[in-house]
Amino acid sequence: MRGRGRSILLAAFLLVMSLVMPVDAIDSNELVVERELVLIATIPHDPTAFTQGLEVQGDLILESTGLYGHSGLRELDSSTGEVLREVTVDGAYFGEGITIFESSVIMLTWKGGRAFVFDLGTLSPISNHSYEGEGWGICFDGQYLVMSNGSSELAFRDPHTFEVIRSVTVISNDDEVSRLNELECVGSTVYANVWGQDRIIAINATSGVVEFYVSASSLAANQGETKNEVLNGIAYDQTADAFWITGKNWTEMYLVSFESSSSDDQNASTGIEGQRTSTALPLGEYFILGIFILLTILFVRRLKHQQPSPPSVEEQSLEMP
């Protein structure tokens, strides 16, 4: 009976503790929130441009274009969308994303394994880097070049040697996010177009976790006539504290901001986004638990006062050394 009493006490204790102890809330990765895309301005965009990448440089917008035989780098007026200067690349290469590093512009190629480096002032080619695999999007986070290759992985490269220093897998709702395309680095966040989708995701550069996303479906609904003419191109405009976005062969370019929704603010105030929180039981349930604990104590005390029965012959033999 003593052993049975201890077992009952232990089971009761574990049950009570599982009910009373705080319970971890759902991980923030399970609750990726949507932020609102707010339109600020619209400018014309060359519909012949198969946009692969965007970058803002002062009052100018740099744009890379793709397709074999039509790839190049161009400079646009951010107030009118007018093409001011343009250089082309060898027709054997399919241009992809671009980023600015120091006084140069780095442009990836899709399957060419080559990253072209242009002088920022003259747009003249000055050097190149080689790499393995495909090139899709690229941005500079202040320390590394962050590069996508169409998978769920982001590679962080040395900007001088192009050597891969580390990589991170992008996760949303416990699933990997593949087809990461054009990238834009802002602080510790990497913004990415997801190829074939009208959405932009914000990625924590350290963990790879998607922190929020925005939908550009309201803009894409009036753009693109084929399955290839999709949302692509994102560049942060520090002066406006907003983003320029467009798509392949779109007729317009948009300046937008990403605003927190009311549900986003509520999640932040309750601790759902970015951390794990605790949940407590209602007051009425604490009262019931108190009664349960008291009855358990009385039951165990009664067991302690009971005279244990002598062990059987078999039990005695088992206790022998």
Query: 172 forms bridges with which residues in the sheet?
Result: 175
Residue 315's Cβ-count burial label (10 Å; 0-12, 13-18, 19+) is: exposed
Nearest to 216 by CA among 186, 241, 239, 246: 246
**What's the pLDDT score for residue 164?**
98
Contacts of 53 (CB under 8 A, 6+ apart): 62, 63, 64, 96, 97, 98, 99, 107, 108, 137, 138, 182, 233
pLDDT at 208: 97
- What is each CA distance from 154 to 50, 144, 182, in whole angstroms? 23, 11, 11
Q: Is residue 9 part of a domain?
A: no
Structure tokens at 76: 């646009």
* pLDDT, position 190: 98
Report the C-alpha gap between 18 and 263 in whole angstroms. 30
Residue 260 forms part of a structural domain: yes
Q: Is residue 41 part of a domain?
A: yes
Q: Are 36 and 217 a contacting pair, CB within 8 Å? A: no
CA distance between the termini of the chain: 23
Cα–Cα distances in Å, from 90 out to 73, 112, 196, 278?
12, 11, 27, 58
Residue 191 maps to which CATH number? 2.130.10.10
Q: What is the pLDDT of residue 305?
A: 56
Which residues form the domain of 253?
30-270
Which pLDDT does position 224 carry in this prediction? 85
Q: What is the pLDDT of residue 119?
A: 97
Helix axes 283-305, 2-20, angle to 10 degrees: 170
Buried b (16+ CB within 10 A) or exposed e, 160-179: eebeeeeebebbbeeeebee
Residue 289: the pLDDT is 59
16 within domain boundaries = no
Residue 116 lies in a domain: yes
Decide if 12 is inside a domain: no
129-140 burial string, b = 16+ CB within 10 Å, else e? bebeebbbbbbb
Residue 51 inside a domain? The answer is yes
- Give Cβ neighbours of residue 195 (< 8 Å, ≥ 6 apart): 136, 150, 179, 180, 181, 230, 232
Tell me the pLDDT of the chain (321 aa) as tens digits.
Answer: 455 555 554 445 444 444 444 433 333 344 679 999 999 999 999 999 999 999 999 999 999 999 999 999 999 999 999 999 999 999 999 999 999 999 999 999 999 999 999 999 999 999 999 999 999 999 999 999 999 999 999 999 999 999 999 999 999 998 999 999 999 999 999 999 999 999 999 999 999 999 999 999 999 998 988 889 999 999 999 999 999 999 999 999 999 999 986 555 454 443 333 333 333 444 455 455 566 666 666 655 665 555 444 444 343 333 333
Q: Which long-range contacts (CB under 8 A, 24 or more apart) does 270-276 make?
A: 271/25, 272/25, 272/26, 272/28, 272/31, 273/28, 273/31, 273/33, 273/211, 274/28, 274/211, 275/28, 276/24, 276/25, 276/27, 276/28
Edge-to-edge strand list for the sheet holding 138-140: 138-140, 145-148, 153-157, 164-169
Q: What is the pTM of this model?
A: 0.73
Q: What is the pLDDT of residue 225?
A: 85
**Number of folded domains in the chain?**
1
pLDDT at 274: 35
Does residue 153 form part of some domain? yes
